[in-house]
Structure 1
Amino acid sequence: MNDDMTHEPSDTTGPRRLTRTRDGRMITGVCSGAAAYFNVDPTLVRIGAAVVTILTSGAGILLYAAAVLLIPEEGKDVSIAQELINKQTSRN
């Protein structure tokens, strides 16, 4: 197997987490994060996302946007959505 194709998580001591990666991202890191999680090439995930978007007349864009909100960025414990919820509950 080619070393360029491996996407091993940097922290192998704990359970795997699906995160939006910083390394290899094109827009927000959703596809590269999913590729690292499933240990596949990011290009395959990006092509799959494009195919889903085309076949569902654009619903793939909504799924991508939801993933951006729900999947935490690499190095963070909570997602954007959880940060907003925490901010709102701390006000009350």
Structure 2
Amino acid sequence: MENRKLTRSNHRMIAGVCAGLAEYFGWDVTVVRVVYTLLTFFTVFSGVIVYVVLWIVMPEQSNKDNYRDRMNDRLNNR
């Protein structure tokens, strides 16, 4: 069994919540974003509250591939 963790993705448009959900469940991120948008409109914008809560609760994905980490590693290894 694969050890997966639900995190916000680095491939984000706003906060990475939809992309993180798509990566966790193996779905297409575009489909998740479209479904989220439709659900938000049809539930009188309560999806915005859910998105903000998930933004706060979901940890950010830590990747050693981003620019900031590479620069910190380079500066600290001198």
Equivalent in 9, 34, 43 of residue 30 of structure 2 = 43
Tell me the residue number matched to 1:63.
50
Q: Supply the AA of the counterpart residue of 1:51.
A: L
TM-score, normalised to structure 2's length? Answer: 0.74
Tell me the residue number matched to 1:88.
none
Moved over 3 A (4+): none
Q: Deviations over 1:49-87 (max 9, x none)?
A: 1011011100000000000000000029xxxxxxxxxxx
TM-score, normalised to structure 1's length? Answer: 0.64
SS of corresponding position for 1:74 = coil
SS of corresponding position for 1:64 = helix
Q: Percent sequence identity over matched residues?
A: 38
Q: Does 1:16 align with 2:4?
A: yes
Gaps of 5+ in 1: 1-12, 77-92
Q: Aligned-pair distance for 1:14?
A: 5.7
Q: Give the Cα–Cα distance (whole angstroms) in 1 for the partners of residues 2 and 45 of structure 2.
A: 36
Gaps of 5+ in 2: 64-78
